[in-house]
Structure 1
Amino acid sequence: MRRIWKWVGLASVAGVVAGGVLVARDQRRRKAYTPEEIRARLHQRVAEGGRAGDDGDPHDG
Structure 2
Amino acid sequence: MRLRMRWWKVLGLAGLAGVAATGVVIARAERRRRAYTPEEIRERLRARHAEANSHGD
TM-score above 0.5? yes
Which is bigger in relative contact order (C-alpha 8 A, separation at least 6)?
1
**How many residue pairs end up in the alignment?**
54
Task: Please list every run of 5 or more consecutive structure 1 residues that lacks an aligned counterpart in the other structure.
Answer: 56-61
**Which whole-Å CA distance do the structure 2 matches of 1:12 and 1:31 have between them?**
29
- Which consecutive aligned stretches of 4+ in structure 1 deviate over 3 angstroms post-superposition? none
Partner Cα separation in structure 1 for residue 8 and residue 14 of structure 2: 10
User: Sequence identity, in percent?
Assistant: 57
- Write the mapping of 1:11-26 to structure 2, written as runs, cut at 5 A: 11-26=14-29
RMSD: 0.7
Aligned partners of 1:50, 1:24: CA distance in 2, in Å?
33
